[in-house]
Amino acid sequence: MNQRPQAYSSRRKRRILDRSFVIVCVAAASMSIVALTVLIGAILYQGMGHLDWAFLTGSPSRSAEKAGMLPAMVGSIYACVICASVAIPLGIGTAILLEEYRPKNRWLAKAHQFIQLNITNLAGVPSVVYGILGLTAFVSFFGVSSSVNEPAWEFGVSHYDEFFDMTGDYVSVPLSKRSSPTVELREGLQGYWGPQREMVTLKPVEDPARWKQVKQQFDEAIAALTVQPDAPGYEQAHAAAARPFAGYVRASAQPIRTSEKAHWYVCIPFGRGVLAGGMTLMLVVLPIIIISSQESLRAVPNSLRHGTLALGCTRWQMVWKMTLPSAIPGIMTGSILAMSRAIGEAAPILIIAGIVYITFTPEHLMDDFTAMPLQIFDWAGRPQTAFHHVAASGIIVLLAVLLSFNALAVIIRQKTQKPLG
């Protein structure tokens, strides 16, 4: 007789505990959603007023009203594209090797376990450690060059010694390499002059009286121009009048060493450029991609592998035609999370780039750059309240770029997803 009330009481307690747990979970989720909504609402309230086309296409400025986000936005996109291009294929390939090609030899199996343990540990290493590693491995290439500004090898660059001539333009004398001796002025030395890069012969003038005489002739030729400075065609008329005086320089003039880099410029070491930043972010997210790809491959039923091999397929055909397509959704999900972390990282980029205030976009992979998290940090740390609103606008742009990357990855995942049946 007493068993029924006790059983009823036990069921009642379990139901109360079950409902209490559900209530706690709903309350925790609701608090998280409310906090996120408040944060996003506050950012939108502060940042929407400054968010316009001029902000997206402008450069950082000392004035909050003129501040723009373009250099940081382009730098972040470049670095993340490099990071994804290297980390995703390398991470997936490593996961395939560790999961689908497990060694049967005892000692190779021990090495496999050691590698797996290290990859798991690397996923929890702070990003600032990867920044220091990237500084050593990519910026300086383990000290292969004495200075970051003096690469050991470079391609796609031309070096010049430039002399300031009488016309107000530079005459660029080409050099064979960066470390060439300083050019000595002499008669017959040729160089490129003006924006059109015309070839002229340098004419060193040592006598002050002769210099004064030629300078007077040049001033008279310019004064005789009938085209006004603000009228169309003035630059062409000015260049034509100054052409006979191009190359006249003082005999004591000292050159300025300059470099002209193409869009495909590459050097070793990489220096503090976009390529070094992207490769450092690759180190940050690579363990995450490897582990998530491994978990996705493990989720594929072994019956599919056995059936594929039973039909006479090689192991690589099994991986390429069956296992990998089935694991693509999970792999892409892990890659999305990894790239979301990469685009928001600030510590590695700060160590690599070392620059926050940059007013130009990168022209090549070795060019200096900054990233959106660094630019937002710079604005948020300023005492003026106006810059805090600019920082909120930057956060909105960062979230928009992040969501765009995630949306693109989701589309790729949906297009490549194949049913297991």
Q: What is the mean pLDDT of residues 208-222?
A: 91
Q: Residue 268 belongs to what H/E stretch?
A: strand 256-268
Q: Residue 24: inside a domain, yes or no?
A: no
Does the pLDDT value for residue 4 go beyond 70?
A: no
- 106 plus 135 within the same structural domain: yes
- 290 plus 396 within the same structural domain: yes
Please, which pLDDT band fits residue 236 given cuts at 50, 70 and 90? confident
Q: Over 38-83, what HEC string results?
A: HHHHHHHHHHCCCCCHHHHHCCCCCCHHHCCCHHHHHHHHHHHHHH
Q: Residue 313: inside a domain, yes or no?
A: yes
Contact 328, 300 (CB under 8 A): no
Using CB atoms within 10 Å of the CB of residue 8, give its burial: 0 to 12 exposed, 13 to 18 middle, 19+ buried: exposed
Tell me the whole-structure pTM to 2 decimals: 0.82
- 139 plus 237 within the same structural domain: no
- 203 plus 251 within the same structural domain: yes
- Report how far apart, in Å, the C-alpha atoms of 136 and of each of 16, 129, 279, 366, 371 are: 58, 11, 12, 16, 20
Q: Residue 388: inside a domain, yes or no?
A: yes
396 Cβ contact partners less than 8 Å away, ≥ 6 residues apart: 43, 44, 47, 48, 51
What is the pLDDT at residue 293? 94
What is the pLDDT at residue 146? 62
Does the pLDDT value for residue 3 go beyond 60?
A: no
317 Cβ contact partners less than 8 Å away, ≥ 6 residues apart: 308
243 DSSP 8-state letter: G
- With CA atoms as reference, report the closest residue to 242 among 194, 305, 205: 194
Does the pLDDT value for residue 147 go beyond 80?
A: no
- 234 plus 313 within the same structural domain: no
At 356, give phi and psi (nearest 5°): -110, -45
Does the pLDDT value for residue 188 go beyond 60?
A: yes
What is the pLDDT at residue 31? 94
What is the pLDDT at residue 70? 92
Structure tokens at 129: 């450690």
- The helices-and-strands tally (H runs, E runs) of the chain is 14, 7
Q: In this predicted model, which residue has the larger pLDDT, 229 or 295?
A: 295
Q: Where is the domain boundary, 264, 291, 311?
A: 264
Mean pLDDT of the chain: 88
- Reported as a single tens digit per residue, the pLDDT across 53-83 is 999 998 998 888 889 999 999 999 999 999 9
Does the pLDDT value for residue 143 go beyond 80?
A: no
Does the pLDDT value for residue 1 go beyond 60?
A: no
- 141 plus 287 within the same structural domain: yes
Please, which pLDDT band fits residue 104 given cuts at 50, 70 and 90? confident
Q: Residue 333: inside a domain, yes or no?
A: yes
Q: Where is the domain boundary, 219, 240, 264?
A: 264
Partners of 155 in beta bridges? 266
- 277 plus 373 within the same structural domain: yes
Please, which pLDDT band fits residue 150 given cuts at 50, 70 and 90? confident
**Calpha distance 277→256 (Å, rounded):** 30
First-to-last C-alpha distance (Å) of the chain = 54
Partners of 199 in beta bridges? 192
Q: Where is the domain boundary, 212, 238, 264?
A: 264
b/e code 359-372 from CB counts within 10 Å (16+ = b)? eeebebbbbbbbbb
Contact 393, 69 (CB under 8 A): yes
Q: Residue 25 belongs to what H/E stretch?
A: helix 3-47
Using CB atoms within 10 Å of the CB of residue 188, give its burial: 0 to 12 exposed, 13 to 18 middle, 19+ buried: exposed
- Reported as a single tens digit per residue, the pLDDT across 365-419 is 999 898 999 999 889 888 888 899 999 999 999 999 888 888 887 787 777 666 6
**Calpha distance 116→10 (Å, rounded):** 46
**Calpha distance 178→171 (Å, rounded):** 17
Does the pLDDT value for residue 420 go beyond 60?
A: no
**Calpha distance 394→406 (Å, rounded):** 18
**Calpha distance 319→236 (Å, rounded):** 65
- 290 plus 380 within the same structural domain: yes
- 228 plus 369 within the same structural domain: no
Q: What is the mean pLDDT of residues 340-359?
A: 85
Q: Residue 28: inside a domain, yes or no?
A: no
Q: Among 32-46, 105-119, 129-143, 349-363, whose mean pLDDT is lowest? A: 349-363
What is the pLDDT at residue 185? 87
Q: What is the mean pLDDT of residues 226-255?
A: 87
Q: Residue 45: inside a domain, yes or no?
A: no
What is the CA angle 275-276-279, rounded to 5? 85
Torsion sign across C-alpha atoms 383, 385, 387, 388? positive
- 242 plus 320 within the same structural domain: no
Contact 95, 338 (CB under 8 A): no
Does the pLDDT value for residue 235 go beyond 70?
A: yes
Q: Residue 369: inside a domain, yes or no?
A: yes
- With CA atoms as reference, report the closest residue to 275 among 72, 86, 409: 86
Total count of domains within the chain: 2
Task: Report helix, strand or coil for 147.
Answer: strand
- 293 plus 333 within the same structural domain: yes
**Maximum Cα–Cα distance across the chain:** 128
Q: What is the mean pLDDT of residues 183-197?
A: 86
What is the pLDDT at residue 124? 85
What is the pLDDT at residue 288? 93
Contact 362, 74 (CB under 8 A): yes
CATH number at residue 361: 1.10.3720.10
Q: Match 């450092």 to its residue by tokens.
A: 280
Range of the domain at 298: 53-146+269-416
What is the pLDDT at residue 283? 94
Torsion sign across C-alpha atoms 179, 184, 188, 194? positive
Q: In this predicted model, which residue has the larger pLDDT, 6 or 231?
A: 231
What is the pLDDT at residue 284? 94
Contact 308, 321 (CB under 8 A): yes
What is the pLDDT at residue 417? 67
- 204 plus 100 within the same structural domain: no
What is the pLDDT at residue 396? 93
Q: Residue 328: inside a domain, yes or no?
A: yes
